Amino acid sequence: MAKDYYKLLGINKGASKEEIKRAFRKMARKYHPDVNPDEPKSGEKFKEINEAYTILSDDKKRDMYDRFGVVEGDSSTYQNWGGAPGGARVQQSPDGTTYYYSSSGSPGGFDFSEVFGNQNNSRSRGGGFDFFNDLGDIFDVFNRRGAGSTRARSQNYNNIPREGDDLRYDMEIDFMDAFYGGKKKTHYKDPNTGQLKTLNVNIPRGIKDDQKLRLKGKGMPGENGGAQGDLYIAIHIRKHPKFERRDDDIYIEQEVPFTTAALGGKVQVLGIENTLNVTIPPGTNDSSLLRLKNQGFFKINSNQRGNLLIRLKIRVPKKLDKNQKDLLEKLQLIGV
């Protein structure tokens, strides 16, 4: 039964060359025999992944495979890898599995250094790519704390400075703090000492909910002289009882007497900064929206502002005296 090379690499049939390469790198790291010394099938799986990449990274072989499901001189026996004499090289993993690959990118195989990059030419034999040593180093650097045999072969990387991990902290602020910005004090645990410390955080004017502030060098300490990580503070804005924020716009509700809604007039509206005199057009319907430009939130790091949108709620009196009732009845008689 023909192997499904796309399934082996975890990609779809329309994958680009770059996607194929990324998938191969990911799977190669996952199933490398040195990373899985206790998994006896890792070598066989790794070999299948190499085979899949050999076919799918070659346009002609991929086209033949897509059409017929097989490739002439099927690489499942590694015949297409040159059988060693045709320019391919042979190398054995610690578990005794033999792998064939090309150090020159010749037709006899593919060039691993093209996928992973030649990490250390001085250690490769004949100026080529020493697959197990170099790939083992790649795994160690990628995982930072790779253990066992991979680590043992990568002693020259042990003293490389490594940046400390980043930290995340959640911080709540009031609605008006987000509008005006300014300094806020908070407490956090220092990752170096474990002690509780006070931190002054600059809140930029117009910050949005769930935006993150970066405090450089306030994260976990680095290794081997590496830089300290960063502290990211996720801002959470408390709701306001009157104002609702949508992006940089502010929404509020405002009651309007039904006579003002019918005849038009002016009402006073409490904005976020001051009281505004707002003109109500005649014949205004309930739930109408009035837009006041540049009365919303400031855009972050800018003097531009959003808008204030006023949703009008027409107020109908629940109790009427005799004169009011008579007037309304007269209006009703004339069809108003």
Residue 221 inside a domain? The answer is yes
- Which residue, of 192, 217, 237, is where some domain finishes? 237
- 60-79: average pLDDT: 66
Residue 143 inside a domain? The answer is yes
Which of 36-50, 146-160, 188-202, 265-279 has the lowest average pLDDT?
146-160
Residue 143 has pLDDT above 60, yes or no: no
> Structurally, how many domains does the chain consist of?
3
Same domain, 228 and 270: no
Same domain, 197 and 263: no
The confidence score (pLDDT) of residue 172 equals: 94
Same domain, 228 and 94: no
For residue 331, which phi and psi values (nearest 5 degrees)? -65, -35
Cα distance between the two ends of the chain: 84
Question: Using CA atoms, how far apart are residues 177 and 4, in angstroms rounded to an integer?
Answer: 57
The confidence score (pLDDT) of residue 84 equals: 40
Contacts 24+ apart (CB under 8 A), 133-141: 135/28, 135/32, 136/32, 136/34, 138/29, 139/29, 139/32, 139/34, 139/35
Same domain, 152 and 43: yes
Same domain, 149 and 42: yes
Same domain, 176 and 78: no
The encoded tokens of residue 260 equal: 């003002």
Question: Using CA atoms, how far apart are residues 317 and 335, in angstroms rounded to an integer?
Answer: 20
- Which residue, of 237, 264, 284, is where some domain finishes? 237
Residue 319 inside a domain? The answer is yes
Q: Residue 30's pLDDT band (boundaries 50, 70, 90)? A: confident
Same domain, 146 and 28: yes
**Strands of the 244-246 sheet, one edge to the other:** 244-246, 249-257, 308-315, 289-292
Q: Please tell me which residue, 33 or 158, carries the higher pLDDT value.
A: 33
Q: Please tell me which residue, 241 or 121, carries the higher pLDDT value.
A: 241
The confidence score (pLDDT) of residue 176 equals: 96
Which of 8-22, 69-83, 201-215 has the lowest average pLDDT?
69-83
Query: SS3 for 189?
Result: strand
Residue 72 has pLDDT above 80, yes or no: no
Residue 58 inside a domain? The answer is yes
Which domain does 288 fall in, by range? 244-333
Residue 137 has pLDDT above 80, yes or no: no
Q: Residue 189's pLDDT band (boundaries 50, 70, 90)? A: confident
Residue 100 inside a domain? The answer is yes
Residue 144 inside a domain? The answer is yes
Residue 226 has pLDDT above 80, yes or no: yes
Contacts 24+ apart (CB under 8 A), 115-120: 115/21, 115/24, 115/25, 115/28, 115/53, 116/25
Same domain, 145 and 228: no
- Which residue, of 98, 124, 157, is where some domain finishes? 157
The confidence score (pLDDT) of residue 136 equals: 46
Residue 162 inside a domain? The answer is no
For residue 243, which phi and psi values (nearest 5 degrees)? -100, 140
Sign of CA dihedral 174, 178, 183, 188: positive
Other Cβ atoms less than 10 A from the Cβ of 51: the count is 21
Question: Using CA atoms, how far apart are residues 172 and 84, in angstroms rounded to an integer?
Answer: 64
* CATH code of residue 78: 1.10.287.110
Average pLDDT, the chain: 77
The confidence score (pLDDT) of residue 71 equals: 67
Same domain, 131 and 102: yes
What pTM was estimated for this model as a whole? 0.50
Q: Which residues contact 99 (CB under 8 A, 6 or more apart)?
A: 46, 47, 50, 90, 91, 92, 93, 131
Amino acid at 257: P
List, in sequence order, the alpha helices (H) in the chain: 5-9, 17-31, 42-56, 59-68, 112-116, 131-143, 148-152, 175-180, 258-263, 322-333
Same domain, 268 and 185: no
Residue 146 inside a domain? The answer is yes
The confidence score (pLDDT) of residue 42 equals: 77
Same domain, 101 and 38: yes
- 249-275: average pLDDT: 94
b/e per residue, 27-48, with b = 16+ CB within 10 A? bbeebbbbbbeeeeebbebbbb
The confidence score (pLDDT) of residue 2 equals: 66
Same domain, 201 and 307: no
* CATH code of residue 306: 2.60.260.20
Q: Residue 332's pLDDT band (boundaries 50, 70, 90)? A: confident
Q: Residue 90's pLDDT band (boundaries 50, 70, 90)? A: very low
Sign of CA dihedral 31, 37, 38, 42: positive
Other Cβ atoms less than 10 A from the Cβ of 72: the count is 10
